[in-house]
């Protein structure tokens, strides 16, 4: 019993340390905050779709052995009234990456400050059969452009997506497959749900400081 107790305590300490290692990375110039377990790299890309001929995308990327975390923010001020269509287009591209295992409305911030979006989970596989020839390849090229990475077969991708004040936010956590074949774990969902937004005046909601 004593040995079991010591193992349990050690496990709890290790888990606590792992949780504590995550920290917020505020990006006030882009209007959002997201949490990473370590410092991400930053880059930019040219966002191009049927609806968007050209727009700047800001990419924050962190790769770990078991997971990949990518926050992508696209400047779409010229398309500010097209938020619903732009979210729908992005969601469709995600569905072309594999098998959708879940999709539901998502909300960040309480009350009148609420920002509504969508959260989608996809088990990636290259053999996804599209309705129209070429859709799968187009979606994979789009994903590589907005993240800088591929979504390997048997990876589980969780995306929290929003359109807020002229920007498209794609908060993407990917659990990579293990040798045993499993890609299920808490890290991707934790990352996707860590996003919050600055108010128009640059302040933060008090609820964001409670984790």
Q: Per-residue confidence at 4, pLDDT binned at 50, 70, 90?
A: very low
The model's pLDDT over 149-163, given as tens digits with 9 standing for 90+, comes to 999 999 999 999 999
Contacts for 101 with CB less than 8 Å, ≥ 6 apart:
121, 122, 123, 156
- In this predicted structure, the answer to whether residue 176 has a pLDDT above a threshold of 60 is yes
Q: In this structure, what is the dihedral angle of CA atoms 109, 183, 46, 59, given to the nearest 10 degrees?
A: 50
- Asked if residues 162 and 31 have their Cβ atoms less than 8 Å apart, the reply is no
HEC readout, the chain? CHHHHHHHHHHHHHHHHHHHHCEEEEECCCCEEEEECCCCEEEEEEECCCCCCCEEEEEEEEECCCEEEEEEEEECHHHHHHHHHHHHHHHHHHHCCEEEEEEEEEEECCHHHCEEEEEEEEEECCCCCCCCCCHHHHHHHHHHHHHCCCCCCCCEEEEEEEEECCEEEEEEEEECCCCCCCCCCCHHHHHHCCCEECCCCCCCCHHHHCC
Q: Per-residue confidence at 179, pLDDT binned at 50, 70, 90?
A: confident
- Given the structure tokens 């001020």, which residue do they identify? 77
pTM: 0.87
- Distance (Å, rounded) from C-alpha 195 to C-alpha 7? 33
- In this predicted structure, the answer to whether residue 186 has a pLDDT above a threshold of 90 is no
Q: Which residue has the higher pLDDT, 145 or 177?
A: 145
Architecture of 23-209 per CATH? 3-Layer(aba) Sandwich (3.40)
- In this predicted structure, the answer to whether residue 208 has a pLDDT above a threshold of 80 is no
The model's pLDDT over 35-59, given as tens digits with 9 standing for 90+, comes to 999 999 999 999 999 999 999 999 9
User: What pLDDT, on a 0 to 100 scale, did the predictor assign at position 15?
Assistant: 43
Domain segments of the chain as ranges = 23-209
The model's pLDDT over 67-115, given as tens digits with 9 standing for 90+, comes to 999 999 999 999 999 999 999 999 999 999 999 999 999 999 989 889 9
């Amino acid at each position: 019993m004593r040995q079991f107790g010591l193992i349990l305590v050690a496990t709890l300490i290790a888990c606590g340390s792992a949780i504590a290692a995550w920290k917020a990375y505020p990006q006030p110039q882009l209007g959002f905050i997201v949490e990473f377990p370590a410092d991400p790299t930053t880059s930019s890309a040219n966002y191009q779709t049927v609806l968007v001929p050209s727009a700047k995308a800001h990419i924050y990327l962190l790769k770990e052995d078991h997971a990949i975390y990518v926050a992508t923010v696209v400047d779409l001020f010229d398309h500010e009234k097209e938020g619903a269509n732009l979210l729908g287009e992005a969601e469709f591209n995600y569905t072309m990456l594999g098998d959708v295992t879940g999709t539901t409305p998502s909300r960040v911030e309480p009350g009148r400050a609420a920002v509504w979006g969508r959260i989608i989970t996809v088990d990636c596989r290259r053999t996804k059969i599209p309705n129209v020839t070429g859709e799968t390849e187009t979606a994979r090229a789009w994903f590589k452009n907005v993240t800088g990475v591929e979504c390997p077969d048997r990876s589980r991708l969780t995306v929290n997506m929003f359109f807020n004040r002229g920007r498209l936010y794609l908060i993407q956590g990917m659990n990579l497959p293990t040798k045993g074949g499993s890609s299920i774990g808490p890290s991707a969902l934790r990352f996707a749900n860590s996003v919050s937004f600055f108010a128009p005046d640059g302040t933060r909601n008090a609820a964001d400081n409670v984790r």
